[in-house]
Amino acid sequence: MSSAKSGLQHTSRSRQTESANQKRAQIVESAAALFDQVGYYPTSMDDIARAVDLAKPTLYHYFGGKDAILLGIHEEFIDLILSKRRERDEAGGDDISQELYEVMFDIFELMRTHRGHVRVFFEHHRELPEGSHESAAAKRDEYFRLVRRLFEIGQEKGELKGDPELSAMALFGMCNWAYQWFRPNGRFTTEEVARYFHSLLLHGIAA
C-alpha cells in the first residue's frame, strides 16, 4: 500500500515536473521569438508574460528574470548543436568531407527551426546572468574544438590543407552569418546553401 502510494506520488511528481519543463520550454520559445523580432532590451517581462498567457508572478516562478530566460535560450541552442555533433563524433564517421557538410547543414537547419534563438545566441553573450558566462563559454569552446578537430583530422589524412583554426573560422563565418540574410522561404533551401558553402570551402569558386 505504502509502496503503491509512493508510486502514485512519484508519478504525480513526474507529471508536475514534466508540465513545468513544458512550460519553461514554451517560455523560452516565445521569449526567443520576441527577442528576435523586437530586440532583447526593448522586450519586458510583461511582454513575455503576455505572450505565454501567464500572470507575471507565475512567469517569475519559472524564471527569476529576463537574463535567466536568455540563459535558457543559450543553453537550449548550444545543447542542441553540441549533441548533434557529439553523436556524429561518437558514431566516428571518417569521411571528413561528409562530417564538414553535416556541421554546416546542422547550423542552417537550426536557422530554420530555431530562428528566434540564433540572433540572441550570437548577439547577447554579455547579457547572460552573472556566474553563467564560464559554463556557457565552455560549451561554445567545446563545440568549436570538435569542429576544428575535423580540419585537423583532414590534414593528418592528407585530405585538407591550410590552417585548421582559420578554416574553422571561415566555416563558422559563412554559416553563422546567414542569420543576417537567410530567409526560410527564400530562393534557396537550407540544404542548397549548406551544399554550396561546403563545395566552396573544399574547392573554391575559381573556374
Residues lying near a second copy in the complex (CB under 8 A): 39-41, 97, 122-123, 126-127, 151, 158-163, 165-167, 169-170, 172-178, 180-181, 187-188, 193, 196-197, 199-207
Rounded Cα distance, 54 and 48, in Å: 9
Instruction: Quote the cell numbers at residue 26.
Output: 514554451
Closest distance of CB 53 from a second copy, Å: 26
**Which residues, other chains included, contact 169 with Cβ-Cβ below 8 Å and sequence gap of 6+?**
none
Q: Would you say 19 or 41 has its CB closer to a second copy? A: 41
**Which residues, other chains included, contact 111 with Cβ-Cβ below 8 Å and sequence gap of 6+?**
118, 178, 179, 182, 184, 190
Q: Would you say 54 or 175 has its CB closer to a second copy? A: 175
Q: Would you say 60 or 188 has its CB closer to a second copy? A: 188
Q: Would you say 63 or 197 has its CB closer to a second copy? A: 197
Q: Would you say 82 or 170 has its CB closer to a second copy? A: 170
Q: The cell 543576417 sits on which residue?
A: 180
Instruction: Quote the cell numbers at residue 121.
Output: 545566441
Closest distance of CB 88 from a second copy, Å: 20
DSSP single-letter state for residue 128: S
CA 59 to chain centre: 23
Closest distance of CB 187 from a second copy, Å: 8
Q: What angle do CA 86, 91, 96 make, to 5 degrees?
A: 85
Closest distance of CB 188 from a second copy, Å: 7
Closest distance of CB 66 from a second copy, Å: 12
